[in-house]
């Protein structure tokens, strides 16, 4: 049995989705199955410094990846781009027909284009392979839940889910959805956030930082990561803190749809020299910032997206033994305990969040112990190696 993970995410350098794919692949490989990552779409936009330049390579313990088009780089010509998008889909089908065998697994990490998913699934089923999809968020659940999103979600549920042989879900809420729309023969497994624990088991270098800081490795979007609430809570805490505490976030302010609101908060709370934007960080840079951070915040609101998903960066934060402040939202609450391995606050309450920020900086020994307990939880529950045997057993069970 060989597992072909198919995706349109940037690879091997990318964001949370890329990290989860790599953890899946490593877990599968460690469990004794061959695994290959296929990227059917060129991901690097023309005119922007590319995160990826190699069309074919390996990562981890010799796990191969392949951009079907031979390169991750997109053309600057719109007609050329459209031509290669079409050609690469045809090449993907051809590659699957020539390389898949009876009993193999097509593992889909591509959430939205149902017509394209069905094309790849048809090839796999024709070859006698099994089709599994990752379900780590509600389909079309990341934006406004308008009529178009509801219709597109219904198409996926009605057209794709009955044809699936297995579903890998990240949360209880998504597992219940999978069971509602798939056929009785379909098999399920719930796998929470995954992290390469050894990579993020970082030494604590917070004492080496020029100034103590909170670190946010996420987007500058309010709906997804509650950036405005974090900045406002930090501003309120800054008034109380005697230390010269900073807030460092990934991303660029000019790219945020909330630029004006963030600038207003900077002015209101006098954060000009305290709120810093680090832009896009490489893995090495991310780890350096994280190792030197005093604490981290995951400020999810109770939105449709957040109620179904499970924040990948939580695993990285916990592995690094950083004290985490997190809101009482979603699947994470099935794993964390307040004041034991995390600080849990109510969503959209900037007063409470600011008080906990002040508390963390005022009680460093307690915060350090909570970080250590979070690290223990991470190694026990979220390290990809812990899930290697269960996911391989799940793949093998598809044939029974």
pLDDT of 48 reads: 84
The tens digit of pLDDT for each residue in 188-216 reads 999 999 999 999 999 899 989 999 999 99
pLDDT of 290 reads: 95
pLDDT of 194 reads: 97
pLDDT of 224 reads: 83
| All domains of the chain in start order, with CATH | 2-194+384-397 (3.40.50.2000), 198-381 (3.40.50.2000)
Tokens read off for 183: 């056929």
pLDDT of 168 reads: 98
pLDDT of 39 reads: 97
Say what the alpha-carbon torsion angle 117, 118, 124, 126 is, to the nearest 10 degrees.
-170
pLDDT of 243 reads: 81
pLDDT of 218 reads: 85
pLDDT of 305 reads: 84
* Three-class DSSP labels, the chain: CEEEEEECCCCCCCCHHHHHHHHHHHHHHHCCCEEEEEECCCCECCCCCCCCCCCEEEECCCEEEEECCCCCECCCCHHHHHHHHHHHHHHHHHHHHHHCCCCCEEEEECCCCHHHHHHHHHHHHHCCCEEEEEECCCCCCCCCCCHHHHHHHHHHHHHHHHHCCEEEECCHHHHHHHHHHCCCCCEEEECCCCECHHHHCCCCCHHHCCCCEEEECCCCCHHHHCHHHHHHHHHHHHHHCCCCCEEEECECHHHCCCHHHHHHHHHHHCCCCCEEECECCCHHHHHHHHHHCCEEEECCCCCHHHHHCCCHHHHHHHHCCCCEEEECCCHHHHCCCECCCEEEECCCCHHHHHHHHHHHHHCHHHHHHHHHHHHHHHHHHCEHHHHHHHHHHHHHHCCC
Total residues found in the chain within this entry: 400
The low-confidence residues of the chain, meaning pLDDT below 70, are none
pLDDT of 399 reads: 85
């Amino acid at each position: 049995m060989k597992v072909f993970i198919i995706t349109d995410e940037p690879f091997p350098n990318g964001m949370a989705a890329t990290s989860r794919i790599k953890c899946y692949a490593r877990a599968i490989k460690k469990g004794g199955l061959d695994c290959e990552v296929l990227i059917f779409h060129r991901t690097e936009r023309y005119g922007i410094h590319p995160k990826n330049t190699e069309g074919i390579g390996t990562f981890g313990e010799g796990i191969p990846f392949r951009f079907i088009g031979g390169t991750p780089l997109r053309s600057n010509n719109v007609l050329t781009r459209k031509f290669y998008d079409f050609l690469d889909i045809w090449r993907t089908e051809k590659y699957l027909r020539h390389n898949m065998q009876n009993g193999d697994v097509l593992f889909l990490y591509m959430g939205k284009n149902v017509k394209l998913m069905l094309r790849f699934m048809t090839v796999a089923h024709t070859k006698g392979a099994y089709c599994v999809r990752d379900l780590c968020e509600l389909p079309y659940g990341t934006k406004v839940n308008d009529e178009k999103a509801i219709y597109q979600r219904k198409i996926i549920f009605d057209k794709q889910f009955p044809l699936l042989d297995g579903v890998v879900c990240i949360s209880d809420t998504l597992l219940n959805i999978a069971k509602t729309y798939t056929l009785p023969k379909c098999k399920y497994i719930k796998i929470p956030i995954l992290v390469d624990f050894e990579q993020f088991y970082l030494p604590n270098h917070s004492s080496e930082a020029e100034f103590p800081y909170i670190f946010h490795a996420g987007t500058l979007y309010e709906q997804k990561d509650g950036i405005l609430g974090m900045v406002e809570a930090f501003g309120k805490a800054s008034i109380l803190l005697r230390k010269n505490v900073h807030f460092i976030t990934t991303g660029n302010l000019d790219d945020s749809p909330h630029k004006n609101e963030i600038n207003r908060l900077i002015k209101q709370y006098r954060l000009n020299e305290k709120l810093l934007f680090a832009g896009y960080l490489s893995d090495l840079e991310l780890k350096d910032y994280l190792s030197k951070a005093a604490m981290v915040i995951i400020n999810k609101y109770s939105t449709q997206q957040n109620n179904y998903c499970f924040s990948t960066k939580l695993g990285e934060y916990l592995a690094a033994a950083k004290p985490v402040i997190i809101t009482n939202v979603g699947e994470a609450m099935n794993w964390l305990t307040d004041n034991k391995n995390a600080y849990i606050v109510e969503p959209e309450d900037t007063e409470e969040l600011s008080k906990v920020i002040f508390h963390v900086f005022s009680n460093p020994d307690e915060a350090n112990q909570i970080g250590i307990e979070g690290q223990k939880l991470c190694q026990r529950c979220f390290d990809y190696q812990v899930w290697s045997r269960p996911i391989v057993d799940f793949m093998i069970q598809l044939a029974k």
